[in-house]
Amino acid sequence: MNWTTRILPYSEVSEAANDTLAVGRTVIDDESVLVDSRRLLQISRGDSSNLFVRNHMCLRSRTDGMGVEEIWGKLPLIINQCTMRRFLRLTGYRNDDEVKVHVIPSQNAFTVANSCSIVSLGIGGDVKAERKMKNDMPKCKFFGADPVKYPNQELFEKIGLFYNIAVGGRNGTLEATVLEQGDYHVREVKSVDIATFLRNFTRKSLIDQLMIDIEWAEYEILPYFLRSGDLEKSDIVICQVNIELHSPNPTQKRQFFEFFHGLMNDYRFTPLAVNSMIHHIRSLGNTAQSTSSIVGPPAEPPPGIPPPGMPPGIPPGAPPALWYILVMMGLQTDSNSFC
């Protein structure tokens, strides 16, 4: 794997006992992002802060020996206690449902041969966050994919390239939960796996930000992020990830448990933040930053009717489901660099 070191906005601040969404004086809340001045530091081999490694080691020590239910239930508490995000300048980009979090590298890090690429899997009729990112990072190229053509194609093509296809864990077709006309429906759609999409559609081997909201299909793609997965085999580097983890059934919860343990052993990505949400879970990655915003529960459905979009395995009349927004950033095995 060939890694590219980015120049990151970095902050020298004292460690707080109770870190919320404050990074120095950079505060990400439901409404705004306040940023104070920062110095630039190239995080590379020999960097004394070792913030990503410290973050990862803390997570490993606190989750060692935990079972499936305990990992899932305590994940927000543990990640937010271990997080080193306060050393990074985080920028929050709000859309209708949540905040996407991104560490913006120095513009000097981007060249013609090493350009910036941002990928959105699952558009859901909302590109507010992507539009704001495009404003802040005009040199970046944007790629989006969704199995529902209208209105996603028209919206996304104003900022980048749109592909009318589902991206998941396998090539062929899959039964996907898709958002159509404001409601969720199960449809059989054409799909490609995430490694094939990045390799053959975007044709980018370095992805600065990958944002995933694919309505329960995310559990099948989790193994792709491990060192044994097809992203590694395809020599594709992903620097930062925002992934929405929707309320899992027992099989999906086990898939996440196995993924998390693989993540801890791999030292390829480290989670930096996670937020609990009612009826919604999101995740962000590649060992550099994380953030989340707590959203109040939607109106309860009538008794006996499951909430829209709930997957098989969750019975009608079940209580509001817990979802997470997880933020990860990528680690290197031979240094503390951010790609």
For residue range 202-221, list pLDDT tens digits in order.
999 999 999 999 988 899 99
Q: Which pLDDT does position 107 carry in this prediction?
A: 66
Collapsing DSSP states into helix, strand and coil, what is residue 172? strand
Q: Tell me how crowded residue 101 is: count the other CB atoms within 10 A of its CB.
A: 32
Q: Which carries the bigger pLDDT value, residue 231 or residue 175?
A: 231
Q: What is the DSSP string of 15-64?
A: PPSS--SEETTEEE-SS-EE----EEE---TT-TT-HHHHHHHHHHHHHT
DSSP 88: B
Specify whether the CB–CB gap between 327 and 283 falls below 8 A: yes
Specify whether the CB–CB gap between 215 and 163 falls below 8 A: no
Tell me the average pLDDT of the chain. Answer: 74
Question: Whose CA is closest to 234, among 282, 273, 197?
Answer: 197
Strand partners, 191: 166, 172
Asked if the model's pLDDT at residue 164 lies above 70, the reply is yes
Pairing of strands 237-245, 206-212: parallel
Q: How many residues does the chain have?
A: 339
Asked if the model's pLDDT at residue 327 lies above 80, the reply is yes
**Continuous H helices in 148-293:** 152-156, 194-196, 218-221, 230-233, 250-266
Asked if the model's pLDDT at residue 303 lies above 70, the reply is no
String of b and e for 153-176 (b: at least 16 CB within 10 Å)? eebbeebbebbebbbbbeeeebeb
Q: Which pLDDT does position 7 carry in this prediction?
A: 52
CA distance 151 to 129: 16
Question: Whose CA is closest to 158, among 190, 179, 134, 191?
Answer: 134
Assign residue 32 a region (left: φ > 0; alpha: ψ between -120 and 50; beta: otherwise). Answer: beta
Most confident of 111-125, 186-200, 306-320: 186-200
Q: Which pLDDT does position 48 carry in this prediction?
A: 36
Whole-number CA gyration radius for the chain: 19
Domains in the chain: boundaries: 21-297+308-330
Question: Whose CA is closest to 184, among 217, 143, 155, 219?
Answer: 217
Which whole number is the average pLDDT over 140-151?
Answer: 95
Q: Which pLDDT does position 194 carry in this prediction?
A: 97
Please tell me the pTM assigned to this model.
0.75
Asked if the model's pLDDT at residue 17 lies above 60, the reply is no
Q: What is the pLDDT of residues 179-201, one digit of tens each?
A: 666 676 777 888 999 999 999 99
Asked if the model's pLDDT at residue 27 lies above 70, the reply is no
Q: Tokens 């990830």 identify what position? A: 241
Asked if the model's pLDDT at residue 121 lies above 70, the reply is yes
Q: What percent of the chain has pLDDT over 70?
A: 64
Q: Which carries the bigger pLDDT value, residue 224 or residue 84?
A: 224
